[in-house]
């Protein structure tokens, strides 16, 4: 086909493009106008189709919601039907609720127009009243009940069989052990407590056979209150204390109580009487009872035992309780329902280990005499308490330690607790003038004065606003050291202490063992009190040297004078001479008494001589202690009893010294508190003399062969 010539199309004679006709008989312009209209129509159609699509989508959502609501209504209807069946009050209308019609597969429900209300529920479904069923209930199936019963019986048989297997196989050992424990009884075998002996082997405290009475509350027959009333006079305990022990069958944790002590150390005769009561809940066993043959002899030192386990409570019984008590044993056996041991059954016995003995340094005979003399002194001077002791020079052994008031250690629970106190080791008082020996020894040792030296001593001196005066009227005079000791010069002692200075005074107080317990062995020993130099007040330089503003026990002062008598060597006091095992053999004890030198031998011997002045010189404060045929050395003292931040009325009179003066062997110390007052020489001088007289004669010390020394007390 040839290409058209463009010149032909531009032929002016040809019909113009605008007027040409389309195949449909319209011009090109008309066709173009129709085309625009078609385009507009298509646009409107698209919008209509979109609106229709959205309407269909909303209709589908509404139908889904209607379907969900319908399902909820059907579920609610089914729930109501179920509740009505359970309560047997289902209404007839609820049984006629039609099941929802099943839709054909692949067929969708006809859409509902928007805004058209859903179908109304029938009035029968909206019934609110629940009417009771008028018909009889349906009769259950007997076969079903039989099957259920058979299944239940089978389950019970399986459970019972399993439990039998558990009891006989799995738990059989535990139940057998529990049954064994119910038959098993364990009773203690108390260990024999060791004895306390004096230095000669005499028993001061020992144990004898007795019975313990115990109770098994789970086996008691009869009324516990009645049984407690019957036992009270035999056991020496109130029925009100016994009844709870008899009636309480379980511990707070729910464990059964099969053994509880009612009383220990019961006399064998009382034990036999209780056994004859034939009550299966009462247990009578072998025990021991503490015997103190001397009753009040050294009771304040020995102490006593008590409590459910018979332990030591005070004194040496408490201090050496571990050594004396031993180790208890026990016996375990199976018993029958009647309470009798089962022959051939389990039986086990652990033997008790007996306690050990202790042998004291105390001599029972000397102790008895010292106690007698002390009690007479306390009675004569209306004293409230007192103490006296005898100590062996060189060894530190305490030969006698007496206190009053005292008590019966065999029956210690009928007195006031104050009677248990050992005043020799536990009562701290102002020592008074017996402390001056410490200053005299220090002054001699430090060269403040010579043994035969003299010093002008005024009648009084004022220190810290307090006036210190000599009780012996001399008006101010030259006194020798012997004169100051004989007259117990306060002013002379203060002057010697001023020469020493506070530091030296405090140093020698410690060297003489003041301010700390002696360690003699009695439980509860007091340390006393010292004032260090930095705590001295304005009156301390005058008060402390003469035995005030500080406290000490009488055993501390006895040990201090023993250092003078022992040529200047301090020896720690001891009360226990030996520890013995259960067979009576001596056990080596590595601990030796502590010793240290306080002063030179020369100083000590000079003071041994000078301390005879208070007894032999006419101006001496201890003239009434002079003993015929023996030379005594010592010092009197008048102190105070500290009480409630002040001083109790009266005085603490004391006398401490040693004998014989030319060869010291024994230290004697006596101290009494008298509310009515009195000096050391007047209240205790006679007792000091009598104790020395008996001690020297008892131990066979020969009398002096020379007359007593004469002292020049005036310078």
Catalytic (active-site) positions: 433
Contacts of 85 (CB under 8 A, 6+ apart): none
Task: Please count the other Cβ atoms lying within 10 Å of the Cβ belonging to residue 378.
Answer: 22
- Return the structure tokens found at 63: 């139908």
Phi, psi of 435 (to 5 degrees): -75, -20
Q: Using CA atoms, how far apart are residues 655 and 679, in angstroms rounded to an integer?
A: 10
Cβ atoms 674, 653 nearer than 8 A: yes
Helix (H, G, I), strand (E, B) or coil at 245: helix
Number of residues assigned to the chain: 715
3-state SS record for 141-167 = CHHHHHHHHHHHHHHHHHHHHHHHHHH
Strands 196-197 and 357-360: parallel
Phi, psi of 154 (to 5 degrees): -65, -40
Q: Using CA atoms, how far apart are residues 435 and 445, in angstroms rounded to an integer?
A: 16
Strands 329-334 and 477-480: unpaired
- Return the structure tokens found at 120: 């109304």
Q: Using CA atoms, how far apart are residues 231 and 249, in angstroms rounded to an integer?
A: 18
Phi, psi of 139 (to 5 degrees): -80, 125
Sheet holding 651-659, edge to edge: 398-404, 385-392, 666-674, 651-659, 633-639
3-state SS record for 84-120 = HHHHCCCCHHHHCCCCCCCCCCCCCCCCCCCCCCCCC
Q: What is the DSSP string of 314-325?
A: EHHHHHTHHHHH
Q: Using CA atoms, how far apart are residues 328 and 309, in angstroms rounded to an integer?
A: 10
Shortest CA distance to 710 belongs to which of 486, 490, 492? 486
- Return the structure tokens found at 127: 């019934």
DSSP conformational letter for 135 = S
3-state SS record for 486-523 = HCCCHHHHHHHHHHHCHHHHHHHHHHCCCCCCCCCCCC
| Residue showing tokens 């226990």 | 576
Q: What is the DSSP string of 518-575?
A: ---S-TT----B---GGG--TTHHHHTTTT-SSBB-HHHHHHHHHHHHTTTEEE--B-
Q: Is the peptide bond before 405 cis (omega within 30 degrees of 0)?
A: yes
Taking CA atoms, 601 is separated from 35, 388, 463, 562, in Å, by 155, 28, 34, 13
Q: Using CA atoms, how far apart are residues 159 and 383, in angstroms rounded to an integer?
A: 86
């Amino acid at each position: 086909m040839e290409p058209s010539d463009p010149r032909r199309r531009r032929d002016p004679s040809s019909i113009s493009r605008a007027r040409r006709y389309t195949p449909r008989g319209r011009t090109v312009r008309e066709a173009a106008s129709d085309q625009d209209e078609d385009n507009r129509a298509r646009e409107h159609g698209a919008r209509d189709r979109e609106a229709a699509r959205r309407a269909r989508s909303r209709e589908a959502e509404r139908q889904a919601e209607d379907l969900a609501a319908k399902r909820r209504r059907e579920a609610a209807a089914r729930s109501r039907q179920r509740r009505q069946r359970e309560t047997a009050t289902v209404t007839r209308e609820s049984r006629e609720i039609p099941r929802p019609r099943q839709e054909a597969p692949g067929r969708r429900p006809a859409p509902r127009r928007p805004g058209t209300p859903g179908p109304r529920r029938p009035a029968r479904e909206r019934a609110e009243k629940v009417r009771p069923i008028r018909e009889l209930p349906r009769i259950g199936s007997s076969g079903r009940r039989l099957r259920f019963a058979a299944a239940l019986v089978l389950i019970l048989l399986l459970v019972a069989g399993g439990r039998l297997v558990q009891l006989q196989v799995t738990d059989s050992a535990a139940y057998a052990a529990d049954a064994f424990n119910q038959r098993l009884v364990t009773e203690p075998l108390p260990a024999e407590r060791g004895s306390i002996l004096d230095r000669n082997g005499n028993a001061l405290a020992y144990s004898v056979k007795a019975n313990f009475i115990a109770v098994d509350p789970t086996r008691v027959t009869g009324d516990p209150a009645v049984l407690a009333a019957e036992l009270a006079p035999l056991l020496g305990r109130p029925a009100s204390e016994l009844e709870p022990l008899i009636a309480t069958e379980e511990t707070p944790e729910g464990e059964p109580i099969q053994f509880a002590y009612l009383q220990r150390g019961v006399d064998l005769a009382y034990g036999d009487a209780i056994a004859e009561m034939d009550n299966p809940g009462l247990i009578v066993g072998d025990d021991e009872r503490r015997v103190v043959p001397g009753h009040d002899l050294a009771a304040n030192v020995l102490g006593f035992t008590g409590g459910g386990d018979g332990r030591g409570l005070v004194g040496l019984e408490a201090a050496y309780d571990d050594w004396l008590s031993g180790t208890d044993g026990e016996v375990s056996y199976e018993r029958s329902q009647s309470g009798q041991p089962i022959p051939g059954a389990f039986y086990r016995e652990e033997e008790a280990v007996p306690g050990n003995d202790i042998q004291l340094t105390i001599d029972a005979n000397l102790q008895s005499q010292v106690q007698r003399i002390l009690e007479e002194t306390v009675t004569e001077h209306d004293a409230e308490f007192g103490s006296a002791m005898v100590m062996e020079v060189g060894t530190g052994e305490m030969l006698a330690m007496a206190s009053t008031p005292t008590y019966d250690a065999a029956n210690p629970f009928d007195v006031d607790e104050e009677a248990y106190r050992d005043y020799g080791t536990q009562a701290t008082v102002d020592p008074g003038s017996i402390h001056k020996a410490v200053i005299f020894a220090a002054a001699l040792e430090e060269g403040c004065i010579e043994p035969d030296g003299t010093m002008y001593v005024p009648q009084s001196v004022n220190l810290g606003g307090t006036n210190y005066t000599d009780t012996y009227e001399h008006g101010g005079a030259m006194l020798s050291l012997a004169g100051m000791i004989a007259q117990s010069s306060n002013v002379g002692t203060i002057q010697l202490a001023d020469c020493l200075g506070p530091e030296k005074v405090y140093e020698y107080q410690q060297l003489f063992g003041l301010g700390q317990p002696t360690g003699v062995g009695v439980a509860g020993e007091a340390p006393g009190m010292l004032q260090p130099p930095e705590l001295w007040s304005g009156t301390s330089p005058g008060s402390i040297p003469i035995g005030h503003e500080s406290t000490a026990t009488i055993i501390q002062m006895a040990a201090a004078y023993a250092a003078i008598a022992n040529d200047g060597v301090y020896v720690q006091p001891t009360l226990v001479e030996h520890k013995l095992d259960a067979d009576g053999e001596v056990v080596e004890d590595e601990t030796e008494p502590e010793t240290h030198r306080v002063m030179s031998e020369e100083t000590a011997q000079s003071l041994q001589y000078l301390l005879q002045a208070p007894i032999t010189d006419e101006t001496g404060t201890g003239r009434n202690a002079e003993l015929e045929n023996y030379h005594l050395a010592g010092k009197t003292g008048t102190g105070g009893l500290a009480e409630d931040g002040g001083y109790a009325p009266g005085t603490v009179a004391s006398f401490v010294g040693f004998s014989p003066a030319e060869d010291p062997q024994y230290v004697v110390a006596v101290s009494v508190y008298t509310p009515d007052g009195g000096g050391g020489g007047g209240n205790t001088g006679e007792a000091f003399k009598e104790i020395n007289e008996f001690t020297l004669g008892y131990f066979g010390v020969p009398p002096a062969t020379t007359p007593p020394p004469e002292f020049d007390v005036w310078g």
